Chain A
């Protein structure tokens, strides 16, 4: 597998390809280096889980891809975000807003309770989305840029859009979709609201959905329903998903491939089964071991997550790692393959995983 060094397939096959992204945030005590040379690929139709503990930068990466980093505080120092062959960081914000965000890339938020406007009916909010982001709307409004309020919603397109809204609501198993459009958000339960969010994310017929911990606010039996529905809907439509979560169990249920991040660096990327059976990075193994296990033994990871203002040199996990050497303190190696589609960035990958390369 030596020819696989550098990891992954040719970039042309990828829907999204993040390369060496570096983002910092301004804080009172100096810049916090939140993303430190992150690379990530998503193939068409692939569900990729982005896991890591809070503060590891997974939400920042998701926001960078959507182009909604806070303008005053965040700075992109290096890297590119290539989506369908074009670098989003190089495009003008108007083009990204018109053609990409909310159309080719959509978003499912973590908290379905605060993501709807409480004073408008669900139907109004869904149709408002369709007015601007419907797949029937021709690419933007050319050069004219009328103020938004002056643009009308053509009657024929409205009717066609409304029919597809009802179709998607039916697919998302919302009971009585016609009546649901007339209801206010508070009339739906948490699980129903998350179904509505999923429907909204699917409506513009996107190529990529970014889902930010969409089930953490839900109970286990409802979570199981939502995960099942989401996976079924995206697989039917061939939509790619970037699913950020800190819950490894959820990632196991829904993802084809899992990428684990630690303190702004990506550590390992592996197909779901290999990720759980043969983790190659010492951090991944420690993380898996810290899950409550049936034998009743509890194992934690000694030490604390480092400060991003003054992060450790080289591999940011080295102060907590059992296998640390001088090389770890000096630099973080590039990703290299230890198995089929299984890449790791570590000087001392675990033997079990390396042994599996045949």
Chain B
């Protein structure tokens, strides 16, 4: 796609809280998984959403997908608000906006042959005849690089990389415009990971797809995404052009995240520096800036004022000292 000026997805101040209940079902607090996130995805691009486990990146993806209802905020897909549609209407959006689960093995029915799983979305969302469906499935199967013989296998007979290919084939049969990829390469060996990434790129070209790429692996995000949003405890702390962020990270969290990634061939990074502590409990967040409990630059103002996202050197950063 050229230009990439059309906004496909706009998320504004999105909030998703979960009630924390005690043994008697009484609400004792809120888990603020996504707490005021705004982002935009342009048609044809890949936006990376990175952060450590528990930062809310998957909750954000699932809320956009409609798996969770938003607590507050707006989700606009192709200019239309989809966060509060009635179920029947919302289901129709699923044809254009699809979600690839982290573990494709677990998201395929173990008692269905692959062919059955691939036909299912077409049966639900289209009125194609059986012959048309078969032609469609064959075409998609070739695009994801699986032999026809695999149609008659069960999920457990496939390797992890092949299961991911089936997961992708399954959503591509509907020709969506946008795909949310939740950790598409976690748990794969490096060589299999390379072939899955290669496939994702070629599919993006062939089917003019837009990706929201959720991952904790910065090396993967770097090769796949044009733009990047870094999340920490339910908030975006830095976002902008991938190359700019890798070249000059502004937020201390992004800096330490990048510093913690082993750099092959260079010096041992972890022996010189590691971020102290662990993320605080998301049920009991620190006041002000959420990163202040681990931040090397922390000052008094960090505890009293929550820093807003503001533009620094071409990208957005939420830090008082960026």
Contact = CB atoms under 8 A, between A and B. Distances in A.
A274 to B, nearest CB: 11
Contact of B194 (A228, A250, A300): A300
Given A250-B262, A286-B191, A301-B191, A224 B270 contact: yes
Contact of B274 (A228, A252, A287): A228
B3 interface: no
Contacts of B19: none
Most buried by A among B159, B160, B261, B268: B268
B23 interface: no
A220 interface: yes
Chain B interface extent, by class: 35 or more
Interface in A268-309: 276-277, 286-288, 290-294, 296, 298-301, 304
Interface stretch (B30-38, B70-78, B121-129, B195-203): B195-203
B223 A292 contact: yes
Interface residues of A, number: 39
B12 interface: no
Nearest to B185: A292
A225 interface: yes
Nearest to B219: A292
A59 interface: no
A228 B273 CA distance: 9
A59 to B, nearest CB: 14
A164 interface: no
A228 B271 contact: yes
B164 interface: no
Interface string B121-139: 0000000000000000000
A89 to B, nearest CB: 30
Contacts of B276: 225
Interface in B138-190: 159-160, 189-190
Interface of B: 52-53, 159-160, 189-195, 197-198, 201, 216, 218-220, 222-223, 256-257, 260-265, 268-271, 273-276, 278
Given A221-B52, A222-B52, A227-B270, 12 more contacts: A53-B192, A192-B278, A220-B260, A221-B256, A228-B270, A231-B271, A291-B194, A291-B264, A292-B197, A292-B222, A298-B201, A300-B198
23 contacts: A219-B216, A220-B52, A220-B260, A221-B52, A221-B256, A224-B269, A225-B270, A225-B274, A246-B190, A248-B190, A249-B262, A253-B262, A287-B190, A288-B264, A290-B190, A290-B191, A291-B194, A291-B219, A293-B223, A296-B223, A298-B198, A300-B195, A300-B198
